[in-house]
Amino acid sequence: MQRIIIAIALACKPKLLIADEPTTALDVTIQAQILEMMKELQRENETAMLMITHDLGVVADMCDKCAVIYAGEIVEHGSLEDIFDRPKHPYTIGLFGSIPNLDDDRKRLQAIPGLMIDPTELPKHCSYYSRCSNKMPQCEEYDPVLVEVEPGHYVKCLYAAGRGEN
For residue 164, the model assigns a pLDDT of: 53
Alpha carbon distance 144, 87 (integer Å): 17
For residue 166, the model assigns a pLDDT of: 39
Amino acid (1-letter code) at residue 49: M
- Dihedral sign, Cα of residue 75, residue 99, residue 106, residue 101: negative
The predicted model scores a pTM of 0.85
Using a 10 angstrom Cβ sphere, with 0-12 exposed, 13-18 middle and 19 or more buried, the burial of residue 33 is middle
For residue 98, the model assigns a pLDDT of: 81
φ, ψ of residue 51 in degrees (nearest 5):
-100, 125
Contacts of 53-61 with CB under 8 Å at 24 or more apart are 53/19, 53/21, 53/22, 53/23, 54/21, 55/23, 56/84, 56/95, 56/96, 56/99, 58/23, 58/31, 60/84, 61/35
Pairing between β-strand 73-79 and β-strand 65-70 as defined by DSSP bridges: antiparallel
For residue 27, the model assigns a pLDDT of: 87
Ordered per-residue pLDDT tens for the chain, 166 residues: 777 777 777 778 888 989 899 888 888 888 898 899 888 888 888 889 999 999 998 999 999 999 999 999 999 999 999 999 999 999 999 999 887 776 766 666 778 888 888 888 889 999 999 999 899 999 999 999 999 999 999 999 999 888 654 3
Alpha carbon distance 159, 139 (integer Å): 9
For residue 102, the model assigns a pLDDT of: 67
Alpha carbon distance 72, 122 (integer Å): 10
